[in-house]
Amino acid sequence: MSATKTFLAVYLGSGSTGSGMAAWNAMPEAERRAKEQQGMAAWGAWVEKHKDVLVEMGGPLGKTKRVGPGGIADISNLMTGFTVVRAESHEAAAKLFENHPHFTIFPGEAVEIMPVLPIPGR
């Protein structure tokens, strides 16, 4: 049995102009609220099912500031949230997110999963 590794999962949206978000926003309010409740219940069930491998529940992400050599700037990107999980392999970590409510119920585009690597020299 291999050692358990840590993985960062980043939830990606389509942005305010993406087709998924446009369709979501075009729904009648009552339908959108019902879908939102369905999605949150499904997300809660996903969390319960995977609670033994959740390192950090994470949460939604807000507006982004980028800091670089040129200073600080407000930017936009497609990252909408994150979660940290443990799994035996990258493939096993990715399988945790198959059919996730982020994109099966909500208008999210995808979940990207990447290993958290050891810091060199430590």
CA distance 95 to 46: 12
Res 108: pLDDT: 92
Residue 55 pLDDT exceeds 90: yes
pLDDT on residue 3: 76
Domains of the chain with CATH codes: 5-115 (3.30.70.1060)
The answer to whether the CB of 101 falls within 8 A of the CB of 42 is yes
pLDDT tens-digit map of 63-82 = 999 999 999 999 999 999 99
% of residues, the chain, pLDDT over 70: 95
Alpha helices, DSSP H only, in the chain? 19-26, 29-49, 90-95, 101-104
pTM of the model: 0.88
pLDDT over 60 at 31, yes or no: yes
